[in-house]
Structure 1
Amino acid sequence: MTKFVSCLGMKPTWQFGDVYGLDPELLSMVPRPVCAVLLLFPVTEKYEAFKQEEEEKLKDQPQVSPDIYFIKQTIGNACGTIGLIHAVANNQAHLEFEPDSPLKKFLEQTSKMTPEERATFLEKDESIRVTHESSAQEGQTEAPSLDEKVNLHFIAFVNVGGHLYELDGRKPFPIAHGKTSEDTFLEDAIEVCKVFMARDPQEVRFTIIALSKDSY
């Protein structure tokens, strides 16, 4: 993933890395600070039923922070790319970009758009699509080819204004998960990830990735 965003002009001052376990000892091995967490999980019948119930329950929820950058997913297997965009777009104050960064340019061009307009703009963005496809050809699990049938999905967790948000391009809006802070963000996001895992206890196809400040 670091290579993917590097190809799009993000400087490697922050790095994506696997979270190898959920207990405090293993979480303590994750470099800090962490500004985003990505969760790869299986899309099962249980999850789809929960997703539908959640949307119905939250459709009248209070307005989320206007500072959140949210983009809908309209391209089949672009969830990895959407997750990366969500992670990067909501942490631009921390991250650094090359002067000619296609990703930074995309974020600037879409900053005032609606989530649906951003999705349409992404469909036509050749630089991001080409990078996605080249990553897929290298066999990276986070970037399957856009026409391949998969049942795994990426979502992002970010801290915006001291609140933990789940950003999923398949959902109609960001999901708020309560307050968080820079110091507790990883642990707070992991608690939400545990809920996903508990929903499908027979499943083992879960991967958690943290975007951490490079300590070297």
Structure 2
Amino acid sequence: MNQETILLVDDEVEIVELLDIYLSNEGYRLLKAFDGMEALECLAKEKVDLIILDVMMPRMDGIAACMKIREERNMPIIMLSAKNADMDKILGLSIGADDYVGKPFNPLELVARVKSQLRRYHKLNRDAPARTNEHELVFEDLLIDTLRHEVSVDNRKVKLTPREFSILELLARHQGQVLSMEQIYLKVWNEPFLDGGNTVMVHVRNIRDKIELDAKQPRYVQTVWGIGYKLDHPS
């Protein structure tokens, strides 16, 4: 059985050392970083199964680090913060975190959340869509060919505009993660968000009209009310 690796990222050395003791006792392999830049450097060299990421840190804070990590990786991220306001939690979850724990916290509760997130992550990976080729993303009947910029549903070709394809590919590459309208707009349009929400909504509606059997009850592109959209394999 492979030992699972957890990256602890917090500028409070006492918290890192405390969690090191609790998580090591559970059999996990621990890596440590003390700001977001160190975390990214560590991820470039090491295989990590889960990240515990503090929000308030020097050089690069947890919010910026989380957004950067989510550009390429989908392992679970649990955010830690002394801020417990609902809006702070919503922000953390909307930019890609899987869980949010306020400080001070019970180390045993955090260990339980780590186990829960890893169980969920491994189950999703077992159930995840297969890739027939490196450039193909497959979600049951939905196939996205990122090399040819082609989409098909149940072997039926679907014609998407370049922007629609970019949105669908972005969601597919972040399977199961909720992306806000602002995140989608910044990535696809590459310009300030301003009033981009309506633009994203219209494009998502067009995508659904083309790939869903019933656009009012979508199987693939799902709305997470108040946050944004995600693409997942049908349950």
Both proteins in one fold, TM over 0.5: no
Structure with the bigger percentage of helix: 2
TM-score by length of 2: 0.27
Larger radius of gyration: 2
Bigger RCO (CA 8 Å, 6+ sep)? 1
